[in-house]
Each structure stands twice: as structure tokens, then as C-alpha cells.
Amino acid sequence: MRHYTILSCLLLLLIGANSCNQNSYSAKRAEEDKLIADFIQRQNIRIIYEEPEDGVWGEKDYLKVPAYDDLYFHLEHAGDDSYTVKQGDKILVRYIRYTLNVIADTARYMTTAEQAYPTEFAYGTDYTTAPIGWHVAVQYMKHSGAACKIICPSKQGLDAEKNTVTPYGYDMQIQIPRY
């Protein structure tokens, strides 16, 4: 009887260890990488490795951002070039956030498009309100009124996204208020 108890305990430990391995961070990261690659393929996105020299972005051109694994940027509209963003500038963002699943997860869908006051953060300094991916996007957007799309892996997302290993797509537009 004692042997059965010991064997049962060992079996339970093995099952538990196996299920933990399937939910490990590295396994979740591998799933995230696959989801991003699948999204890129489904959307017929063309990956480019340098910004277009003439400033003209193809409709499906996404820049694979150097130094940020799996962060992709697409400039929709260049904005007003009368002022270029500087570190510490207040940035107002209107955005739509969506999952990269075949059918977007509406429980995780978020938007500020209809809100009277958009999300606000300080460029290059405030990493609690805005994901790292937003700061990188603003670096490429540069000007007030610019609009972009980004594919943001959890590593460049908010802390909650890092913990759940959830990548998101964002459609963003920024304003840089000048007083």
C-alpha cells in the first residue's frame, strides 16, 4: 500500500511538472512569436528593415524596429512637421488596441478614440502609463498629428502584458500640445 502512495505522489509530481513546463515563460514566448508571425502572414504585411528614404510607406510596409525584438512599425500619416518631439514632451495618444488572434479578442479590445480626453504620457520618461512600444513609435512618428500602426510584443508592452505574454496591435495617433 505504501508503494502505491509513493508512486501516486511521484505521478502527481510528474504531471504537475509537465503542466508547468507547458506554461513556462519560454513556452509562452514561443507561442507569442508564432502568433505575431501568423498575424504578419494573414495581414500580408511586408517587413522592411530601413525606413523608406523618400518617406513614402507602402500600405503594407512595416519596419522591423532595430534593437526591439518583434516590434513592427508602420507610418500611416507623417503629421505636422513644424515641431519635432523631444524627450519629456507631453504626448496625447488616441489609440485602438487589439489582439493579434484570427478573431480579435473583444474582451481585450481597448480604445480611446471616442473618449473626450486621450491617454497622456511624457515621451522618453514615463514608462508606467505608456508601453515601451509607444515611446519607440513616437520616436518614428516625430510630429504632432502623426498616425501609425504597431505590432507590440509583450516585452515592449505594459507590465500586465509582460506577465501574461500577450502581444497587441495598436492603431495610434499623437498630438503634441504646444503652449
Whether the pLDDT of residue 138 is over 60: the answer is: yes
Whether the pLDDT of residue 7 is over 50: the answer is: no
- Mean of all residue pLDDT scores within the chain: 83
Q: What are the tens digits of pLDDT across the range 41-93?
A: 999 999 999 999 998 999 999 999 998 888 999 999 999 988 999 999 999 99
pTM, rounded to two decimals: 0.80
Q: How confident is the model at residue 151 (pLDDT cuts 50, 70, 90)?
A: very high
Cell of 131: 508601453
Q: How crowded is the C-beta side of 23, counted as CA atoms within 13 Å?
A: 8
Whether the pLDDT of residue 38 is over 70: the answer is: yes
Domain count, the chain: 1
CATH number (domain holding residue 12): 3.10.50.40
- Quote the pLDDT of residue 128: 83
The whole-angstrom separation of Cα 64 and Cα 168 is 15
175 beta partners: 92
Whether the pLDDT of residue 26 is over 80: the answer is: yes
Q: How confident is the model at residue 113 (pLDDT cuts 50, 70, 90)?
A: low
Q: What percent of the chain has pLDDT over 70?
A: 77
- Quote the pLDDT of residue 76: 96
The whole-angstrom separation of Cα 63 and Cα 52 is 9
The whole-angstrom separation of Cα 5 and Cα 56 is 69
Q: What are the tens digits of pLDDT across the range 123-137?
A: 999 888 889 999 999
**Domain range for residue 40?**
2-175
Taking residues 91-99, report their average pLDDT.
89
- Looking at per-residue pLDDT, the higher value among 10 and 165 belongs to 165
